[in-house]
Chain A
Amino acid sequence: MVRISRVLLKDAGIAIDKTLSEILVCPLSKQPLRVCEKTKSLVSDTIGVSFPVKDGIPCLVPKDGKILEEASKA
């Protein structure tokens, strides 16, 4: 059952399970992250950095993060 749901979620694009979304924070500022469905990423608004989610696995290594432009933030 869990496997099926995982496969389904994988097809749906972004799939971060509940456990993770509850405990994940930004690795640099330790502030909560916002899920961005459009770009499939986790956004840290405090420092303006987005972290990618690859195949349902969030990549929160600071080096993987992309600095968001001011325009796209607004």
Chain B
Amino acid sequence: MNNLMIFVLVIAMFFGLSQSRDPQLCNLRKLEIQNKLGDHGQILIVACNDKFESGNRPQNVTLKFNEKRVLTKDAIWGKESFKRMFRIYDQRFGRLEHEKTCQKFCILIPKFYWNQNSADNIERNSVQTCSGAAKNQLQREREREREREREMRKISSLCGRITRLPPEKPTKQSHSFFLASHSFGFLSDGGYGGGAEPQQNSSRVKIFDRDLKRIHRDRAAWLSRHRNDTFVDAVAENLLDRLEDCKKRFPTALCLGGSLGAVQRLLRGRGGIEKLIMMDTSYDMIQSCRDAQQDSLLESIETSYLVGDEEFLPIKESSADLIISSLGLHWTNDLPGSMIQCKLALKPDGLFLAAILGGETLKELRIACTLAHMEREGGISPRLSPLAQVRDAGNLLTRAGFSLPGVDVDEYVVKYKCALDLIEHLRAMGETNALLQRNKILNRETALATAAIYDSMFATEDGTVPATFQVIYMTGWREHSSHPQAKRRGSATVSFTDIQKQFGGDNLES
């Protein structure tokens, strides 16, 4: 039965193609190609108004489906589908020299492939024009399509065998086989998503969308203008307070992304900084910092501005005495890598100070998001980024090669009027979701449900909703001869047993 179907299909393909190569049709400016298998819509025929020459791309393509014109503009087609179509077109015309001036271009695409693509809206449009009875028919058709899809898969394997036949057959046939095998070749590509994959074939793991984060920070620059954020200020103050504990002075300091403005404002001559370099990925953020500094007329520190990426630090080796990063490094894809770059940029005995958000951050929001998603959408998608744990922070510092590493944790609970205020605050800080695999659509329903769950689960007696921010402070120094170091193993001159004897070892032995 299946074999019969296959033969019918193949013959019909020949028929469609041979008809399109009819000399009479060739002369027509506008082609009207009948779809011989149009009843079930498994094959689409593309006709083109433009004259085809080699290297000339069709401008105005008409697609026919069930004898109705479904689209005329290429805009509805996804770019990938067009690329694929043109690839086939190029291959075809590469093979057929004599057809170069042919006015038409015929391509056979199985309907199921078409369905897998972004053509859902087109189908919906066609449904709108149909009556209720036609709708039922369309549903039945869809079911039949699915069946046919399965058949087509079997056909594709057969077609593969046919194309390997010796080439003494008439050219017409080999063309259609060629086309058919290619149109079935889409299957192996796994549908529409196939084209986007090579872009992510990078050797490094990417978790965050750095470009999106840049845009977020641009927005944050506008949202946080002329407004001092108490939470960010508290973190910056806590971080800069560590400078007072050091006797050393730091003439050249580099301030990396995150809460730049707060660090700049709260520095107040601490650490003996003479030259300050401000770096961020967002140009707008840097500019707003520069404007803020010019307004305040505080010119005691020579400040330079720079747009750069923490993942690709553009700083010469051993040139900075101090690197401060306040709430910025948790957005880097390669945290150890950027910390190693920081270490290299530091002078010997230089200090690295960083504050990043820890894993306990926004745990309430995490719970509320998960619940709301389960309730409204029946599944969850990542809304909050994975964050470093406290125990990781120490390992990170050691791995990056910092000596005298120090890690401490602080938890801040910020109270908001409602959950939506929290989101506004996150936006103003530029801390909104930038995961690469995020769900790009957030339903209004789900968002409001999240807010409602948040309010009902975590609201306190006074009507405010708390949000926890866990901040991990990391301190590390670039190694220097002046740092205390453990002695070499086996270099001891006194044995422990001797010490025990000396200091009344009797009680220790028990």
Assembly CA distance A23 to B320 (angstroms): 8
B503 is an interface residue with CB less than 8 A from chain A? no
B313 is an interface residue with CB less than 8 A from chain A? yes
Q: List B contacts of A60 (CB < 8 A).
A: 306-309, 312, 314
A54 is an interface residue with CB less than 8 A from chain B? yes
A60-B314, A62-B312 known; A19 vs B304 contact (CB < 8 Å): yes
- A28 B307 Cβ-Cβ under 8 A: no
A24-B314, A24-B316, A27-B312 known; A61 vs B305 contact (CB < 8 Å): no
Chain A contacts with B in 17-68, Cβ cutoff 8 A: 17, 19-20, 22-28, 30, 32, 54-64
- B287 A55 Cβ-Cβ under 8 A: yes
B317 is an interface residue with CB less than 8 A from chain A? yes
Chain B contacts with A in 119-140, Cβ cutoff 8 A: none
Tell me if B's interface is mostly helix, strand, loop or mixed.
mixed
- A62 B309 Cβ-Cβ under 8 A: yes
Q: List A contacts of B315 (CB < 8 A).
A: 23-25
- A57 B312 Cβ-Cβ under 8 A: no
Q: List A contacts of B299 (CB < 8 A).
A: 2-3
Assembly CA distance A8 to B302 (angstroms): 17
Distance of B346 from chain A, by nearest CB (Å) = 12
- B312 A58 Cβ-Cβ under 8 A: no
- B304 A17 Cβ-Cβ under 8 A: yes
User: Which A residue sits closest to B297, measured CB to CB?
Assistant: A3
- B304 A26 Cβ-Cβ under 8 A: no
Assembly CA distance A17 to B308 (angstroms): 16
Q: List A contacts of B313 (CB < 8 A).
A: 27
How many residues on the A side are at the interface (Cβ–Cβ under 8 A)? 25
B111 is an interface residue with CB less than 8 A from chain A? no
- A57 B283 Cβ-Cβ under 8 A: yes
Assembly CA distance A55 to B283 (angstroms): 10
Distance of B64 from chain A, by nearest CB (Å) = 42
Q: List A contacts of B307 (CB < 8 A).
A: 54, 57-61, 64
B188 is an interface residue with CB less than 8 A from chain A? no
Q: List A contacts of B294 (CB < 8 A).
A: 3
Query: Which one, A2, A25, A28, contacts B316 given CB within 8 A?
Result: A25
Chain B contacts with A in 301-342, Cβ cutoff 8 A: 302, 304-309, 312-317, 319-320
Q: List A contacts of B317 (CB < 8 A).
A: 30
Assembly CA distance A64 to B290 (angstroms): 21
- A28 B320 Cβ-Cβ under 8 A: no
- B308 A20 Cβ-Cβ under 8 A: no
How many residues on the B side are at the interface (Cβ–Cβ under 8 A)? 27
Distance of A59 from chain B, by nearest CB (Å) = 4
Assembly CA distance A36 to B84 (angstroms): 42
Assembly CA distance A11 to B426 (angstroms): 37
User: Which A residue sits closest to B254, measured CB to CB?
Assistant: A23
User: Which B residue sits closest to A20, measured CB to CB?
Assistant: B304
User: B286, B306, B317, B319 — which one has the most chain A CB atoms within 10 A of its CB?
Assistant: B306
B415 is an interface residue with CB less than 8 A from chain A? no
Distance of A21 from chain B, by nearest CB (Å) = 9
A19-B252, A20-B304, A55-B287 known; A61 vs B281 contact (CB < 8 Å): yes
Assembly CA distance A27 to B275 (angstroms): 21
Chain B contacts with A in 243-276, Cβ cutoff 8 A: 252, 275
Distance of B451 from chain A, by nearest CB (Å) = 35
Query: Which one, B281, B283, B316, B320, contacts A54 given CB within 8 A?
Result: B283
Assembly CA distance A62 to B499 (angstroms): 60
- A24 B306 Cβ-Cβ under 8 A: yes
Assembly CA distance A67 to B305 (angstroms): 24
User: Which A residue sits closest to B320, measured CB to CB?
Assistant: A23
Q: List A contacts of B306 (CB < 8 A).
A: 20, 24, 57-58, 60
Q: List B contacts of A64 (CB < 8 A).
A: 307
> Per-residue CB proximity of B182-215 to A under 8 Å, as 1/0?
0000000000000000000000000000010010
- A61 B309 Cβ-Cβ under 8 A: yes
User: A2, A3, A27 — which one has the most chain B CB atoms within 10 A of its CB?
Assistant: A27
Besides A3-B294, A60-B307, 10 more A-B contacts (Cβ < 8 Å) are: A17-B302, A20-B277, A22-B316, A23-B316, A27-B309, A57-B290, A57-B305, A57-B307, A61-B308, A62-B309
Q: Which 8 A-B pairs have the closest CB atoms?
A: A27-B312, A60-B314, A27-B314, A59-B307, A23-B319, A60-B308, A20-B304, A61-B309
21 A-B interface contacts by CB (under 8 A): A2-B302, A17-B302, A19-B252, A20-B306, A23-B315, A23-B316, A24-B306, A24-B315, A24-B316, A26-B314, A30-B317, A32-B316, A54-B283, A55-B287, A57-B283, A57-B290, A57-B305, A57-B307, A58-B307, A60-B312, A64-B307
